[in-house]
Amino acid sequence: MKVETLLRGNDAQTDVEQYFASNIANIQNHINDVRDRCVREHGANMENDLEKALSASQSNKEMAANIRATFVSKYNWLDLYAIVFDDVTDERRFSVSGNVVQKLHFNKKCAAVFYHNKTTDSGSLDAFSNNETRALTSNYSKYAKPTNAVNCSTNGVGAKAVADQIACTLDRNATAWWGLAVVRRFVDLWSCCNYEKEVMTVGDAWTICLLLE
């Protein structure tokens, strides 16, 4: 800096500082742009990562753990919940809803990853207690056919109808949720997550995974 001052006068230091400050700002803007693009396009990126994970020759348990590890590393601003189960061609036998990416009938497997923006507040179950929620999922996990006990409209018989009734009950009780999976039993379903507020019930007819805010 002293050499620049001698060669160019007293304004040299200011010019050099402005030059470096401008370069640093440009670099930071580029980094922010890359980060923001990853956030904006995370849905498509997650679908590609899910397909790559399902291409491996692994058990469902190993695959669920691998998906969790990959996704937690790449999408660290999200709460994540992954499920993997054997391929089910009859789509009345499973239903996934909420914030989710899924890959079905691929490499003889089906998989879904639910995602949710992390918050500092872990949420509250004041509107509908944890015990009541578990009782709800336990109740519906037993039935091979849904009922109209909660006065919700259901079309057809199967996992989607069961999921619709669970979601309707949660909504009526002002219980916020962001992921719900209803899968017929005996398909070797495994789950893995980085989220604590999960309600998972295995019944005679269905396995139900519910993610609460």
CA 111 to chain centre: 12
CA 146 to chain centre: 26
Instruction: Work out the average pLDDT over 181-204.
Output: 84
Query: Do 70 and 33 belong together in one domain?
Result: no
- Residue 177, in any domain of the structure: yes
Residue 173 has pLDDT above 60, yes or no: yes
| CA-to-CA separations, 120 to 78, 117, 193, in angstroms, rounded | 12, 10, 18
DSSP code, position 93:
G
Q: How many distinct structural domains can be found in the chain?
A: 2
- Residue 52, in any domain of the structure: no
Model confidence pLDDT, tens digit, residues 5-16: 555 555 666 666
Per-residue pLDDT at 136: 72
Predicted TM-score of the model (pTM) = 0.71
Per-residue pLDDT at 129: 56
Residue type, 92: R
- Residue 53, in any domain of the structure: no
Provide the residue range defining the domain that includes 30: 2-40
d(CA 74, CA 35): 11
Model confidence pLDDT, tens digit, residues 22-40: 666 566 654 445 454 555 5
Q: Are strands 109-117 and 198-202 parallel, antiparallel or unpaired?
A: unpaired
Query: Do 132 and 179 belong together in one domain?
Result: yes
User: Taking a C-beta distance cutoff of 8 angstroms, is the pair 79, 115 a contact?
Assistant: yes
- Per 3-state DSSP, what percentage of the chain is helix, strand, and coil (rounded to 5)? 45, 25, 30
